[in-house]
Structures are given as structure tokens and as C-alpha cells.
Structure 1
Amino acid sequence: MSDLGLMHYCLGIEVWQKEEVVFLTQSKYARDLLYKFNMQDCKTLSTPMDVNMKLTAYDESKKVDSYLYKQLVGSLIYLTHTRPDISYVVGVVSQFMQNPSQAHWKSAKRILRYIQGTLNFGLKYEQPEVPMLVGYTDADWASNIDDRRYTSGHTFSYGTTTVSWSSKRQPTVALSSTKTEYRALNNATQEAVWLRRLLVDLGQSQVDATTISCDNQSCIHLAKNLILHAQTKHIEIHYHFVREKILDETFDLVFCKSEDQMADIFTKSLGKCKFKKFLTLLGIEECNFIIEGEC
């Protein structure tokens, strides 16, 4: 154990420490979860959700035990504390806990197949060379096929690893993709304000503006150009909180290509190559401190 570093265990979360590296995982919890649902010998999959999968509450396949389904989904929700890579898909399957079907159950078990192949994955934290807070925000307009509500997501990294993330199905229907992206940007901006204040308390004040990347040009123009606001009165006034933060140079809103939009992993299912790329960018990797059988 001393050669590999010190491990602390609290409420299912393992904290592995060695020199200047800290690793957060839930490998034992994940392994116990597989045994609980008799999936310890299941075949592995490279992504937690099929890229073309669209689940609906009006699925006509056979219904399953809702109590068992709730147990599985609840256990997976706890696993997202150190596994942001499953946040989106867990959010999707959690929408059907009242009346789950075989299709919903199959999708939830697919997450376990993905977990089986990534048991020792977690968040790796190192001393950042450039201690800068950087964010990404995204939204998937009208993505829910039942009510056309959208899913928003954002992520913030400090150095090379994610420190805050969110994947949330919003309670309203947006009338345009711009409005969708702008609301998602507002949520990300509020989170960034809180993180900057937290870093001040930790003695890591951010001198420069925090960069937030968005892949929607209309949203960026709206936030930066006051003239356009007269054409968007349907967007509630409090969402212009974003513009105030840009004017006082707390934040810098920049455009990024869709293929580089890390927040995509929190708003939609992705293909294998793109999913793996974002895993690396989020700082999620296998913990090489773990000895098989000791965790």
C-alpha cells in the first residue's frame, strides 16, 4: 500500500493520494453495485448509451418492477459523484421511475455494462501549471421527444480536471435554440460566480476573466451586443445577468467548435470516439493506484 499511495474511504468514495496526485474513485461501490444486480460477469460496452437511443414514457414494451428499477437508478445517481461521464444518461433513465418498461430497464443495465469496463475510473487531480478556471456550456434544444423540453449542461475545470459539472433536464419548453443556449449560459455563469468566490476563500483568486466556451454564435452575439436585446424581450430580464458579468470583465465568452464542446457529454449521447475524447479532457481516467482485491 505504501508504494502506491494512501487511500481514504468515506461514504463510498475512495481518495487515493500519492505525491502530488489525488484520485477520486468509487471503484468498490461500483463493483458492489454490479454484484447487487447480478452483472459482475456481464460483457462490457465502450459508451453508457447508444448514440441513436431515444427513450419515451409511452413505451409499449412490457413493464418491469418499479421498486427494483428505482433501486438501480438511485444507486447510479450516487455513482455520479466521481463519474461525470454517466451524468447525462443517468438523468435520462431517472425520468421513467414511476412506470418503467423493459426498454428503460435495458438502458439502465447498459450503464452497468459500461461501468464494468471502467470500474477503476475516476477523477485525477494534479497541481495545475496554470491555475485557471475554465468553463463550457451547452444545451440540446427540444431533445425530449415526449414534451420537447431541453437538456442543459456545463462543466468547469481547474487546471486539467473537472471540478464542477451539471446535466439537467429543464422544466420549460424553449421556442428557439438561441433561447435554450442563453438559459444554459445563465446557469453556467451563476455557477462560475460561485466557484470564483470559493477560490478566493481558498487563496486562489482568479485575476483574469474566466473563459466560458459556447458553440452557439447567436447566443454569444446576444450576450455581447446590447442592440439585439430589443428583439428578444421574450427572454426574461434576469437572464441578462450574463451580459453584466461580461461587461465588468468577470467572464469572457468565446466560441468553440461543436467537436471541441466538452459540455456535449452532459446533454446528449455521443459516439465512441467523441466520448473517449471528452473523457480525457474532463480528467477522467483509470486509477493506476488500485491493487486488484485490495479495494
Structure 2
Amino acid sequence: MQKEFEMSMMGELSFFLGLQIKQSKEGIFLCQSKYCKEILKKFEMENCKAATTPMSTNYYMSVDEAGTVVDQTKHRGLISSLLYLTASRPDIMFIVCLCARLQSSSRESHFKAAKRILKYLKGTTFVGLWYPSHSPIHLVGYSDSDFAGCKLDRKSTSGTCHLPDSSLISWLCQKSKQNIPKHPKNLSSSNQGEIVENEALMEPNL
């Protein structure tokens, strides 16, 4: 490429679009701790009390039409910032995507849920992805679904991840396009296909 384009060596890559890269003989570590601190400071949460989880286990997010309306611009800005953080933080992807679904009609309860994520980030600022230099290539895939977990439209939210040995390389959190009928025996062919696909991911034949 140096023959075709004018290039200059800037040294070993350590920072790219908010993503911090630390390289060593043992492997590569990716994180967004600097960006995470900037988010906490931007939304005045740098001195908040840290939370151990990004959301409560018994929490259910609803439309909450009777709730108090909050600043739409501020709430959407927070969601956008959190979505970019999922580039290296799959542990917050589910709740961030859940908050993003209701950002068009933001209520105080929705904003509190998003701030709970910031409290979790306060205590996990330096969490990231580790890729060891010497690890066997054994691809494993996992999948799970909450099966009609959304009470508004009875749609499922599924999540998948893939790891060659112990290094996470891809992850996904997606809401189903079709709702699940109240009686499972009446599942359509497309719903059955989703279940079969999930089972195949959980038990890879490699």
C-alpha cells in the first residue's frame, strides 16, 4: 500500500474511535473506559453510587403513558451514547436495546432505567474484551430467548454469542418480528424455525 498511497507509520494502534486497544505478548485487550468516563461526566453521574447489575431482575419496562415526560433530547442522547458503548460491552446490550425501543415517548421511569445503566458502568468502567494470543480455535455458539417476554406485543427477545474458545467475537440481541401465540402448540412454521435455529446454536456440531 505504501507504493500506491502516501503513508506514515504512527506506531502501534492504541486508540481508535473511542476504542482503547492494549497489545502485549499475552494478547489484546479492548475497552472503552475513557469513553465510559466521558458519558458519566456528561450526564453528571461520575459521583453516583455504583450498581452491581445494569437492571433489576424483577424490572419490567412499559410504555408508561401516565408517567412524567422527560427531556427527549437528553434521553435520546443518553441512549445513543450507550448504544455506541455496546461495541465492547455486550453485558449491557439487552437493557440498552430495551431502553432504545421506548425512546420515542420517553417518561421518567424510562430515564431512571437508563441512569441505572450508568450506575452499573460506574463500577465496571474498565471491563472489556480479552483476546489471548495463544488459544485453540474451537468455535462455540450460545443462544437464548425469553419466549414472548414482551407483554405489549408478546414478541420474544433472543440473544446469541459466538466464542472461539474463550474470546467473544460476536454478539446479538434482537426482538422477534412475529408475536408468539398464547398456546405454544399453535406455533407457526416461522416461529418453529426460530426455535430450531436457537437449539442448533446452543449445540454446535463442530
* TM-score (ref. length: structure 2): 0.85
Q: Structure 1 residue aligned with 2:178, among 172, 175, 194?
A: 172
Task: Give 5+ residue unaligned stretches, structure 2.
Answer: 1-11
* C-alpha separation in 1, matches of 2:119 and 2:38: 14
Residues 28 and 133, structure 2, Cα contact 8 Å, conserved in 1: no
Partner of 2:35: 29
Count of matched residue pairs: 190
Residues 64 and 107, structure 2, Cα contact 8 Å, conserved in 1: no
- Specify the SS of the correspondent of 1:151: strand
Partner of 2:48: 42
Which range is displaced more, 115-124 or 173-182? Answer: 173-182
Residues 137 and 185, structure 1, Cα contact 8 Å, conserved in 2: no
Residues 146 and 157, structure 2, Cα contact 8 Å, conserved in 1: yes
Provide closer, same or farther for how the CA distance between residues 37 and 188 of structure 1 changes in structure 2, counting only shifts above 3 A. Answer: farther
Residues 72 and 106, structure 2, Cα contact 8 Å, conserved in 1: yes
Percent identity between the aligned chains? 33
- Specify the SS of the correspondent of 2:50: coil
Aligned AA for 1:118? T
Partner of 1:133: 139
* C-alpha separation in 2, matches of 1:92 and 1:184: 22
* C-alpha separation in 1, matches of 2:107 and 2:156: 23
Q: Structure 2 residue aligned with 1:183, among 194, 197, 203?
A: 194
More helix by share: 1
- How many angstroms does 1:66 deviate by? 1.2
After superposition, the CA RMSD in angstroms is 2.2
Moved over 2 A (4+): 127-130, 174-182, 184-189
Provide closer, same or farther for how the CA distance between residues 184 and 37 of structure 1 changes in structure 2, counting only shifts above 3 A. Answer: farther
* C-alpha separation in 2, matches of 1:99 and 1:70: 10
- Specify the SS of the correspondent of 1:172: strand
Aligned AA for 2:202? S
Residues 153 and 167, structure 1, Cα contact 8 Å, conserved in 2: yes
- How many angstroms does 1:48 deviate by? 0.1
Provide closer, same or farther for how the CA distance between residues 181 and 40 of structure 1 changes in structure 2, counting only shifts above 3 A. Answer: farther
Which range is displaced more, 82-91 or 55-64? Answer: 55-64
Residues 162 and 170, structure 2, Cα contact 8 Å, conserved in 1: yes
- Specify the SS of the correspondent of 1:171: strand
* TM-score (ref. length: structure 1): 0.60
Partner of 1:213: 202
CA deviations on 1:236-293 (whole Å, 9 max, x unpaired) are xxxxxxxxxxxxxxx529xxxxxxxxxxxxxxxxxxxxxxxxxxxxxxxxxxxxxxxx
Residues 88 and 129, structure 2, Cα contact 8 Å, conserved in 1: yes
